[in-house]
Amino acid sequence: MRVELWDICNQSPEKMSGNENHFEVIVLGAGSMGSAACYHLAKRGVSVLGIDQFDIPNNRSSHHGKSRMIRKAYYEHPDYVPLLQRAYELWGDLENDSPEQILFKTGALYLCHSKDSVVTGSLRSAKEHALPHTHLNTAAIRSDFPEFTVPDQFEGFFEPDGGFLRPELGIQEHARQAERWGAHFLSNTKVLDWTTNPSRVEVKTNEAIYSAEHLIISAGPWAQPILEHIGIELTVTRQVQAWFEPQGAPARFSYQNFPCWLIETQAPYGHYGFPILPGQKGLKIAEHRPGVPISAAAIDQEIQPPTEKELSGLRSVLETHIQDAAGPMIKSCTCLYTSTSDQHFVVGTHPGDDRISIAAGFSGHGYKFSSVVGEALADLASCGKTKHPIDFLNPMRFI
Ligand SMILES: Cc1cc2nc3c(=O)[nH]c(=O)nc-3n(C[C@H](O)[C@H](O)[C@H](O)COP(=O)(O)OP(=O)(O)OC[C@H]3O[C@@H](n4cnc5c(N)ncnc54)[C@H](O)[C@@H]3O)c2cc1C
């Protein structure tokens, strides 16, 4: 049913609640965070509409590429660890009702020069939160992980709970299970504008106008102009991922035998990679460093594919650090990071209107948190507060 703006504006809230275009919560962007928010809201019996401009999931935003690392001993800051502990539980719940495995605990190995920060930061989080781990000196890295080549003075940190998630499957399952609990979704439907008035929030798409008591903005890279409006700067960058077929016996590199890994190649940045996933042929590698910035105007246009120079840079890291990994390149693609100036997320209530919640700026490390961010967003939308310790991610820190 198509409802024009004047139509909605002239209706009383009571009448609106019987309106099929009215929901308790609308979620703008049903990607990583948005699909999880829909799932948690629907499970609580809240009427929710998730809207995405593309397919759910899609390969135009920040969540494609078949794998995302998940780890608990967070080198970025120990404050993330309680959120991660809950995230793991919630991934387990989602997986219990999923026909396929979403989270694979392969173990994760972090390597850096002893003067750099990845291992020290991981140790800090592991000690503060009593997380299982092994601290490795150079000799131990070489004996326990013989596929890895490291210079002298490198140290390592191994975390058995680390591993990878399958992001497209995670989004698909959040949306599928949300739908089962009564959520509505609109894919390939672009939100063109949203406004607030004293009684509700109105959301205009290319098809119709919808209204809600609460709006969650989880628009990934497209959140940039929205947050700029309230004084929060986000930078969208183009990131490259590539898959290489290993030389020799591929079973050595399969997810049953090989860990996820991260090497601080040029502090504070690094390269990271994955074993061969079920049903796949190659090892994925990417660089965790903000790439070439993309303007808000250019984001809807075709993103430049990976260049020869970028791909040979990735190959050279594999050649230097993982024996036999750098065989023929199988495929490559780009994806988008949306980063804040401090590399920490923005999750909380809109500073100007508590009927709007924001989840943005995940700075290239957000996917693993989407299960718990979805739960926190559902708390904010349904009761205005959350028990999750997300104060350090509050948008107000920038304003
Ligand atoms: C190459 C790469 C590697 C990464 N590796 C890791 C990793 O190993 N571990 C990890 O935890 N994280 C990783 N990340 C980061 C993680 O993937 C992101 O932080 C996360 O996906 C961000 O989720 P999001 O919900 O903010 O955005 P998205 O998942 O992109 O969702 C935003 C959605 O909003 C929709 N949307 C936007 N505007 C509109 C509109 N106007 N109307 C309708 N729909 C709209 C988009 O279509 C999109 O589907 C990586 C990211 C990249 C790019």
Nearest to 155 by CA among 91, 98, 112, 205: 112
pLDDT (0 to 100) of residue 248: 83
pLDDT tens track for 42-85: 999 999 999 999 999 999 999 999 999 999 999 999 999 999 99
**Per-residue DSSP letter, 325:** -
C-alpha of residue 292 to centroid of ligand 1, in Å: 17
Do residues 334 and 311 make contact, with C-beta atoms less than 8 angstroms apart?
no
Please count the other Cβ atoms lying within 10 Å of the Cβ belonging to residue 145: 20
Do residues 361 and 340 make contact, with C-beta atoms less than 8 angstroms apart?
yes
Give the helix/strand (H/E) hosting 175.
Answer: helix 167-180
pLDDT tens track for 128-169: 999 999 999 999 999 999 999 999 999 999 999 999 999 999
pLDDT (0 to 100) of residue 19: 83
C-alpha of residue 175 to centroid of ligand 1, in Å: 15
pLDDT (0 to 100) of residue 3: 26
C-alpha of residue 358 to centroid of ligand 1, in Å: 14
Cβ-Cβ contacts under 8 Å for 398 (sequence gap 6 or more): 231, 232, 233, 340, 341, 346
Do residues 50 and 34 make contact, with C-beta atoms less than 8 angstroms apart?
yes
Nearest to 63 by CA among 167, 164, 163, 165: 167
pLDDT (0 to 100) of residue 179: 98
Query: Which residue owns the Cα nearest ligand 1 atom 51?
Result: 364
Do residues 40 and 27 make contact, with C-beta atoms less than 8 angstroms apart?
no
In testing the pocket of ligand 1, which one of 35, 68, 118 has its CB within 8 Å of the most ligand atoms?
A: 68
pLDDT (0 to 100) of residue 191: 98
Torsion sign across C-alpha atoms 32, 291, 253, 265 = negative
> Which atom in ligand 1 lies closest to the alpha carbon of residue 33?
25
In testing the pocket of ligand 1, which one of 26, 27, 28, 32 has its CB within 8 Å of the most ligand atoms?
A: 32
C-alpha of residue 64 to centroid of ligand 1, in Å: 8
Query: Which residue owns the Cα nearest ligand 1 atom 35?
Result: 29
Torsion on CA atoms 227, 365, 86, 214, rounded to nearest 10 = 20
Query: Which residue owns the Cα nearest ligand 1 atom 49?
Result: 31
Counting as low any pLDDT under 70, the low residues of the chain are 1-18
Q: What lines the ligand 1 site, CB under 6 Å? A: 28-29, 31-34, 51-54, 58, 61-63, 65, 68-69, 190-191, 218-220, 222, 239, 241, 286, 335-337, 360, 362, 364-368
Do residues 371 and 353 make contact, with C-beta atoms less than 8 angstroms apart?
no
C-alpha of residue 30 to centroid of ligand 1, in Å: 10
pLDDT (0 to 100) of residue 18: 64
pLDDT (0 to 100) of residue 16: 42
Nearest to 74 by CA among 32, 129, 36: 129
**Per-residue DSSP letter, 3:** -
Hey, what amino acid is at 225? P
Cα 49 to Cα 211: distance, rounded to the nearest angstrom: 10
Torsion sign across C-alpha atoms 91, 103, 169, 322 = positive
Please name each of the domains of the chain with its CATH number: 5-62+168-224+343-398 (3.50.50.60), 90-165+235-339 (3.30.9.10)
Cα 260 to Cα 285: distance, rounded to the nearest angstrom: 10
Helix, strand or coil, per DSSP, at residue 188: coil
Measure Cα distances from 308 to 210, 243, 275, 303 in Å: 46, 14, 23, 15
